[in-house]
Amino acid sequence: MVFQRLARGDFSYGVWVVLLVAGLALSPISNAGESSSSSRASPAPTKKAAQKASAKASISKAPKKSIPPSALKASLDRKGGKPKPRPIAPPKTARVNPSKPVLPSLPPPDEEEGAILPASPAFVGLDLPTANQALFSRNQVDDFYQPTSSGRLISAGFGCVRNPNFWGGFTRFHEGIDIRSVQRDDDGEPRDPVLSMGEGRVAYANRDTGKSNYGKYVVMEHDLFGPRFYSLYAHLSSVDGRIEPGQRLTRGNRLGVMGRTSNEFRIDREHAHLHFEVDLMANDRYARWSQKRGQGEPNHGLFNGANLVGVDPVRFMQFLQVNSDLGIGDFVKREAVAFRVLALRKGDFSWIRRYPFALSRKPTEADKAWEISMTYYGLPIRVTPRRRDEIPEVAWKALKAGVWPLTFANAPLLRANTAAEMVVRKGDRWRLGDKGREWMSLLMF
């Protein structure tokens, strides 16, 4: 019928036929495009498609076979790829750098966490000088130190830790540590007994508060191992009556009572503490040096604080705990060198006579000067004899002119510890400051 109507010239009917055929041809494409977003049901899959989907599902449910590492590596090598690195499990124990001493770990506490632990017996006959043993506690170290009225805990430690400036540094050096009181009377005054840190003899006892910024203080001389060193106990409220120079004491013998005495500044009741130092002696001719400078007979003789140079007591005791067969000299030789200074060799050098561990080699007649390596606060670490041909001409001229020239300056260490004031920056060079020149005058006298 269609062809009969087209034969009669009914072309409008032909147009409708063409449009109908075209619509039937396009309808499957339109349905396929809407299948992912339309809510209409998809047409039933063919038998072949159903078989393919079933096979795919069975493969996904089957357990995966592990591929041997060698086969995986070979496959990746053929493809030019690299296997992803497997994460490495952390070691069961931390690696230890043999060049750095490591403190032994504390045993697990028997009581609640943070319980104060007793002093370790590995301190080679030394102990803390009061009943405050919080330094050995896991998380109560703050209870050991007594900060200044600033409240900064660092102010109770050793070094450039006092009077912060605008740039975040400090302007005052503290040559010792301040230990907090743990025993008070009804008026809040400290009653802690102060004890000798180790066996030795009483070197000096000052009972006159008005004569020292240390107030009432005691100095002990120890000869337990190696060269003699000194322990100093300051700001005492009282010195025991039986304490006299020359008396031999054992570790833990009572020296006095903690307090807050000083002739230079007021220590309030709340901040009372024991100022504790471990020292070496600068020069056993200190009294004569003081008199020659027109300062007269010094108070406290050889045990004036100006004639004693300290080490960090806490670090020293930690060092002995790790190195129980070593002594004060071994500790000093391991301190960081901040600068080296030259001095003419003439007469007796008290420091190397008292502390021969500092001498790098035996001097000869050809040696004309000493090169002294020091900490940032002036503790001599090492003394090296120098021949004339080892000294630069400009340094030799300075020596002959009465100047102590520097041969080395550890700029970062000196910048971090300007409060010591031994060495100062002048333009682009480091030089001894006023305090450094006075210190060299005493050492070389």
286 or 136: which leads in pLDDT: 286
With respect to residue 298, please indicate whether it lies within any of the assigned structural domains.
Answer: yes
Average pLDDT, the chain: 79
Is residue 401's pLDDT more than 80? yes
Kindly report, residue by residue over 4-46, the tens digit of the pLDDT. 444 444 544 444 444 444 444 444 433 333 333 333 333 444 4
Residue 154, C-beta contacts closer than 8 angstroms, at least 6 positions apart: 147, 161
Q: Which of 232, 227, 221 is nearest to 358 (CA)?
A: 227
With respect to residue 95, please indicate whether it lies within any of the assigned structural domains.
Answer: no
Q: Is the pTM of this model over 0.85?
A: no
Is residue 82's pLDDT more than 90? no
With respect to residue 386, please indicate whether it lies within any of the assigned structural domains.
Answer: yes
Indicate if 271 and 233 belong to the same structural domain.
yes
What average pLDDT does range 40-56 have in this prediction? Answer: 46
Last residue of a domain, one of 295, 320, 345: 320
Indicate if 183 and 272 belong to the same structural domain.
yes
DSSP string covering 288-320: HHHHHTT--SPTTGGGSGGGEEEE-HHHHHHHH
Would you call 280 helix, strand, or coil by DSSP? strand
Indicate if 307 and 374 belong to the same structural domain.
no
With respect to residue 198, please indicate whether it lies within any of the assigned structural domains.
Answer: yes
CA distances for 294 relative to 144, 283, 290, 385, angstroms: 42, 17, 7, 31
pLDDT at 124: 61
What average pLDDT does range 373-388 have in this prediction? Answer: 97
Last residue of a domain, one of 271, 296, 320: 320
- The rounded distance, in Å, linking the Cα atoms of 399 and 342 is 8
What is the pLDDT confidence band of residue 61, given thresholds at 50, 70 and 90? very low
Q: Which long-range contacts (CB under 8 A, 24 or more apart) does 143-150 make?
A: 143/180, 143/182, 144/179, 144/180, 145/177, 145/178, 145/179, 145/180, 146/178, 146/179, 146/180, 146/181, 146/271, 146/272, 146/273, 147/178, 147/271, 148/178, 148/271, 149/268, 149/271
* Residue 234 lies in domain: 134-320
The total number of structural domains in the chain stands at: 2
Range among 117-126, 365-374, 415-424 with highest mean pLDDT value = 365-374
62 or 153: which leads in pLDDT: 153
With respect to residue 347, please indicate whether it lies within any of the assigned structural domains.
Answer: yes
With respect to residue 277, please indicate whether it lies within any of the assigned structural domains.
Answer: yes
Indicate if 221 and 345 belong to the same structural domain.
no
Last residue of a domain, one of 320, 351, 366: 320
With respect to residue 171, please indicate whether it lies within any of the assigned structural domains.
Answer: yes
Kindly report, residue by residue over 163-211, the tens digit of the pLDDT. 676 666 677 889 999 999 999 999 999 999 999 999 999 999 999 999 9
Indicate if 206 and 311 belong to the same structural domain.
yes
